[in-house]
Structure 1
Amino acid sequence: MFSSLSSIVLLGITYFSIIVSAVPVFTYENNPLGNSFPNPSPDQLKDIQVQAHGSLSNGKPPPKVDPDTLTSLRFVAFNELFEVAFFTSLLNNITNKIEHYEAHDGVDDELFRTNLIKVFTAIQAQEELHALNANNALKNFGAEPIKPCKYDFSVVYLEDAIAVAKTFTDLVMGTLQDVAQNMAIKGDPGFIRGVLSSLGQEGEQNGFFRSFQGRIPSALPFLTTSTREIAFSAVNQFFVVPGSCPNANTIDLPVFPPLAISTQDTLDLARNPRPRNLGFSFDLPEGGAKPEWKSDWTGLKLAYINMQNVPRAMDLLDVRVEHNKVNFNVLFPFDQGTFGNSMTIALIVSADANFTNAVTLMKAPTIIGPALIQVN
């Protein structure tokens, strides 16, 4: 079996992070939060801020904005609307004792459940403020706010939901690095302090997710970096119901073709981290393989992005095409001190891509992915 979001090991037990289930599609129609979000009234906003243990900034917005920064604000709003939806669904499952959400580690502990409700009520409200902050900034500069999509959260178990939350939080923390750097490059430093403030909040909640899994709260000395393009593709591929986003087309970012990874291989890697081959696959595009990929597939590389290191360019091994699907293996060169802990992002890119960093990779003529790998 192949999946784009890799399998994750929790508390010594293996779960699939994304599982096919009968969970209904999440939609913001019919006011599921009960506070008219994403368009709360002033009184409802006050209630959100009480639940979030803090408020939106009352400072003046920057006097100007670059078009690229508007793209970043649109992406942030898009991502935060997804996160609010996810945590609303998770909170509802815990609160209502939905099957497989009523117990943890086989124990139905009411005190533990009450604490989880307290934690996720705050996280939900904090993410609401993140989304409102980004959309308010867009409106301040005369841009249309981003509207929510419909989402498919096919996650069956509480432990899986925490693992998925940890993974997409890892990804957004890496992506906010990209957002802040782009704002600096484009001459919009007035936004950066707020972006880094929300990045810190994401880190705090991810420490809770890791502790829930029985891991140390801090994963790495320097978190894995990402880009807006990678994260926008991931959220669209993993969670968004296709065709359900009213105005995501205003976000000037691509959605790459998906890259799948063998769940069995990643389960084995997570149980026993070591250098080993991993199986990957992707669908051939319409018209077949591109000439620049070459008949022996040496025109493509798999890039691993881990921590703040230079991306690793890896050869595709044992390539075979079956039913318009390209299957292959790639070495995962795990090393406890230098490569592979926490989140690693995998992308197929052109062999002549610039591997200086994650940002330069985004200029490659071919990009397929991401697949996300979690170890330790």
Structure 2
Amino acid sequence: MPAPARIATPAASASTARAEPAVTMIPSTARVTATLLLTVALAGCGTSKDAMPKMPPSEVGVVTLATQPVTTTTELTGRTTATVTSEVRPQVDGIIKARLFTEGTLVRAGQPLYQIDPRLYRATRDEVAAQLASAQASAATAQAKVKRYGRLQSADAVARQDVDDAVATSRQASASIAQYRATLRTANVNLGFTRVYAPISGRIGRSTYTQGALVTAAQTTALATISQLDPIFVDIQQSSSALYDLRQSLATGEALPASTTVRLSLENGRSYPQTGTIQFGEAVVDTTTGTVTLRARFANPKGLLLPGMFVRLTVPQTMIRNAILAPQQGITRDAKGNATALVVGTDNKVALRQVTTAQAVGDTWIVTAGLKAGDRLIVQGVDKAQPGATVKPVTVKLGTTN
């Protein structure tokens, strides 16, 4: 038989509570509900504590574009040429006895350069001088005979024919004197040609003939060449189409004529310290190259430029009245190679523009389309700006945009 159940009394219940703590039993449905509420509460607290603050707009450097007059330039190639060139040539035949100058030095006009053997020409001069003296003596005799016959004719002591013959002989003697005098002058000139003088002042090159060489008046090779190098010319070529476009721009008033001052750079890329000026342009187009020759003049006091050097010239073309100059760091290229620019609108949002550039001027581009005066072009922090994004524009100076 099982033991009968015991009914706890209040005293016994109190004693039992002190001896063993009472355990409050919560139904399982209530426990699940409480757990879910606690999880939601803790999640809400975590979200409020760890939420990321909203990022401020990216800061970008901008330049406000404005119109300004700009001189456009073009780079052309050219060759230097001496202002004046003289090829020293002999004017008589003979043997060179001496060279009277130092090769590569400066010579002055009238300075003796070569001595050709003068003996033959001196002898010819002396011979002609003797012939002139003989003619003068014959003329004196003929003139005396004419005078004597003139007195005898008045007394009918001489025939009229003899008088006429005497007059004719006297005139022939006078003509012979004039002829020998001209021949004597020619002989003296030829004798003078045996010493070859510098026709101009300048720098003389190497001598192509040495002492003892035979030279002739008809030879094609010069004895030496003298060149005037200060100032010096530079002949440059410009295409006829470019020249036509320039003249059209000037005629329509789209551009103003620029200064004729040009700058030169040497073949090694170094700039020449002196500036030059355009002297003139040819009036015809070369049919083989389609170019027009322009000539510039440069001072060359130190003789740095020599004839035949290859040089580059920066030539001003036109003056644009209202040009837009955009810093080069604000102009980028897309995948197709088109020029683009990022500008900040009035609402501080970034906009992408397709632009057209003409040429570089220093560290800027001349923009002919896509940008206008007043646009704020992004030049710093371009990588932070995306089309449509809001940014914080900060104005920077054009000279500090690197």
**TM-score, normalised to structure 1's length?**
0.18
Larger radius of gyration: 2
Query: Which of the pair is proportionally richer in helix?
Result: 1
| More relative contact order, 1 or 2 (CA 8 Å, 6+ apart) | 2
**TM-score, normalised to structure 2's length?**
0.17
Query: Which of the pair is proportionally richer in strand?
Result: 2
